[in-house]
């Protein structure tokens, strides 16, 4: 009998054991269901939601972890940094691997790895062990993120791609928005271990849903030897870059250690690019970046994430130190931005299916740039800022789903896993750039002062910097074509 990915199944014990590494077709009743693609989308949204929820919950738990393990702030931040470093370093390679072995396979087992990592995090006996288990959890998250957009792209019918990616963007935004509230409840109810253990039942449900609802992979690339040399150059390049960005403020941007990290990142990046151009089966097909919609979408997307997380960094300092709000009040007001993004995203995706990505991405980032520019000169209080955050959320909601859908539509279907991996890597890089560069601008403007005047000065400088970044993202978004996403590609029937 021929299996789902083109091999031949036997009846020997070895082949029976290997069936766990073969994608099955969905049950016939599900495959015949006219709206089966919505079941696929719901399953992918589950992974998107849990990933963003986990990220924001862990950030909220840093003070608790510092007290429990009697650690410094810098030591506790590695609980977040380890996750980010491993995720960004591996997500592109996993996307490339999924294009050969099966996107459903890696997505399904991504839930399993994430569940195992979460359970181990919840049982960690020390801070070092927690860091290590967070790395395992990040591998599972990379398996989910590298394949999520690719699965939507291949499963959604013609004319609904933007809408599907918009709904997924809403699920991510809701996870990010609800994280502080859910995290506070879990920390009060069961302590820090519960914020990891809560992932276990959700992840198991997601794994079963993925096995039942997601169609087996089509348009896979031939299985060729994996580009281990490229991977070996890429991972340390990313780690060096993120390490320099993460510790630049603490160690000093001109310190030998930071300069050395950036120099290593550049040297390894050049070597990686040169090797990928010569390799017969590269980890990253650089020809993708010769497609203007792809390269414009990736670069503008990276800048949009920089803006988003730069805002999330700068606003708390202004609200706490200049407006004298409590941490809970700040968290509540910050929720406005991801909520506005989540509400806007599905509508933006549907409009992109009809009118194309360019008007929405350009308009969304232009709105974001205007609001941030206004914030740089505004003298209003916290509630004026809340209105600005809502408008920024709307702008990013108009931008993100059409941009992601345009990126996927511009890539060949057999490379959708790689394209999704690159797309998700830009989210991690944008996060790091946003936090590090906005922190640098804030500190230069505000100095070491903690007065309300210093905080307001630092915030306005940060807003002006982020407005300039948003203008650059607007210009890059305008380079893509204006074709409606629903007409971007034909898809065969899923099974």
The reported pLDDT for the residue numbered 472 is 96
Q: What three-state secondary structure class fits 401?
A: helix
**Residue spans of alpha helices (H) in 279-381:** 292-317, 327-334, 336-355, 358-375
The reported pLDDT for the residue numbered 132 is 94
Angle (deg, nearest 10), helices 416-446 and 452-477 = 150
The reported pLDDT for the residue numbered 10 is 41
pLDDT in tens, the chain (495 residues): 334 444 433 444 445 556 667 777 788 888 888 888 889 999 998 988 888 787 777 766 777 888 888 887 667 878 877 888 888 888 888 888 888 888 888 899 999 999 999 999 999 999 999 999 999 999 998 898 888 877 887 788 877 777 787 788 778 777 877 776 777 778 778 888 998 998 999 999 999 999 889 888 776 777 778 788 988 998 899 888 878 877 777 788 889 999 999 999 999 999 999 998 888 888 777 888 888 888 999 999 999 989 988 888 788 777 777 777 766 677 678 788 888 888 898 888 888 878 888 899 999 999 999 999 998 887 666 667 888 999 999 999 999 888 888 888 888 877 777 787 788 788 878 877 887 788 778 877 876 555 667 778 888 898 999 999 999 999 999 887 655 554 444 444 455
Tokens of 375: 């914030």
Which of 254, 250, 323, 294 has the alpha carbon at shortest distance from 477? 294
| DSSP secondary structure of 156-175 | SPTT-HHHHHHHHHHHHHHH
Which of 346, 311, 348, 301 has the alpha carbon at shortest distance from 477? 301
467 near 340, Cβ under 8 Å?
no
The count of other CB atoms within 10 Å of the CB of residue 418 is 28
Question: Residue 1: which residues within 8 A CB-CB, separation 6 or more?
Answer: 8, 9
Q: What's the CA gap between 424 and 146, in Å, rounded?
A: 7
The DSSP output letter for 380 is -
Tokens of 352: 């992109």
Which of 391, 403, 411 has the alpha carbon at shortest distance from 361? 403
How many secondary structure helices (H) and strands (E) does the chain include? 19, 0
The DSSP output letter for 322 is I
228 near 282, Cβ under 8 Å?
no
The reported pLDDT for the residue numbered 285 is 79
| DSSP secondary structure of 229-261 | HHHHHHHHHHHHHHHHHHHHHHH-TTSHHHHHH
- Measure Cα distances from 152 to 44, 169, 482 in Å: 8, 12, 21
164 Ramachandran zone, left/alpha/beta (phi>0; psi -120 to 50): alpha
402 near 293, Cβ under 8 Å?
no
The count of other CB atoms within 10 Å of the CB of residue 289 is 14
Question: Residue 376: which residues within 8 A CB-CB, separation 6 or more?
Answer: 460, 461, 463, 464, 467
Radius of gyration of the chain (CA): 22
Tokens of 317: 């300092």
The DSSP output letter for 225 is -
The reported pLDDT for the residue numbered 134 is 93
415 near 288, Cβ under 8 Å?
yes
Tokens of 455: 């905080």
Q: What three-state secondary structure class fits 2?
A: strand
pTM equals 0.77
């Amino acid at each position: 009998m021929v299996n789902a990915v083109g091999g031949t199944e036997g009846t020997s014990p070895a082949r029976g054991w290997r069936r766990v590494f073969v994608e099955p077709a969905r049950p016939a009743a599900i495959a015949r269901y006219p709206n089966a693609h919505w079941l696929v989308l719901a399953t992918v949204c589950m992974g998107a939601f849990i990933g963003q929820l986990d990220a924001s919950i862990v950030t909220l738990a840093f003070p608790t972890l510092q007290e429990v393990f009697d650690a410094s702030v810098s030591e506790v931040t590695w609980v977040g940094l380890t996750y980010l470093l491993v995720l960004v370093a591996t997500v592109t390679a996993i996307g490339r691997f999924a294009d050969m072995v099966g996107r459903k396979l890696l997505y399904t087992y991504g839930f399993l790895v994430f569940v195992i990592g979460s359970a181990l995090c919840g049982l960690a006996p020390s801070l070092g062990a927690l860091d290590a288990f967070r790395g395992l959890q990040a591998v599972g998250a990379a398996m989910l993120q590298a394949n999520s957009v690719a699965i939507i792209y291949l499963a959604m019918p013609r004319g609904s791609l933007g809408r599907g990616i918009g709904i997924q963007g809403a699920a991510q935004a809701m996870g990010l928005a609800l994280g502080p509230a859910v995290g506070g409840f879990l920390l009060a109810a069961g302590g820090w271990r519960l914020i990891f253990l809560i992932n276990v039942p959700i992840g198991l449900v997601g794994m079963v849903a993925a096995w039942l609802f997601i169609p087996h992979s089509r348009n896979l690339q031939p299985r060729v030897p994996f580009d281990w040399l490229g991977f070996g150059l890429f991972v340390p390049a990313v780690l060096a870059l993120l390490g320099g960005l993460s510790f630049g403020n603490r160690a000093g941007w001109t310190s030998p250690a930071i300069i050395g990290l950036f120099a290593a990142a550049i040297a390894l990046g050049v070597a990686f690019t040169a090797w990928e151009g010569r390799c017969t089966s590269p980890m990253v097909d650089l020809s993708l970046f010769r497609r203007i919609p792809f390269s414009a979408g990736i670069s503008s997307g990276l800048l949009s994430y920089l803006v988003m997380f730069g805002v999330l960094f700068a606003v708390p300092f202004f609200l706490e130190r200049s407006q004298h709000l409590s941490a809970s009040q700040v968290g509540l007001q910050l929720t406005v931005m991801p909520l506005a993004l989540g509400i806007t995203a599905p509508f933006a995706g549907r409009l992109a299916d009809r009118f194309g990505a360019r008007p929405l991405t350009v308009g969304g980032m232009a709105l974001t740039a205007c609001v941030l520019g206004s914030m740089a000169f505004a003298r209003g209080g916290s509630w004026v800022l809340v209105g600005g955050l809502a408008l920024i959320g709307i702008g990013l909601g108009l931008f993100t789903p059409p941009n992601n859908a345009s990126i996927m539509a511009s890539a060949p279907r057999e490379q959708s896993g790689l394209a999704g991996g690159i797309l998700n890597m830009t989210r991690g890089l944008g996060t790091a750039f946003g936090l590090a560069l906005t922190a640098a601008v804030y500190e230069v403007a505000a100095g070491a002062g903690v007065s309300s005047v210093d905080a307001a000065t630092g915030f306005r400088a940060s807003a002006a910097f982020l407005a300039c970044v948003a203008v650059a993202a607007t210009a890059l978004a305008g380079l893509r074509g204006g074709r409606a996403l629903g007409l971007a590609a034909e898809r065969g029937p899923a099974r």
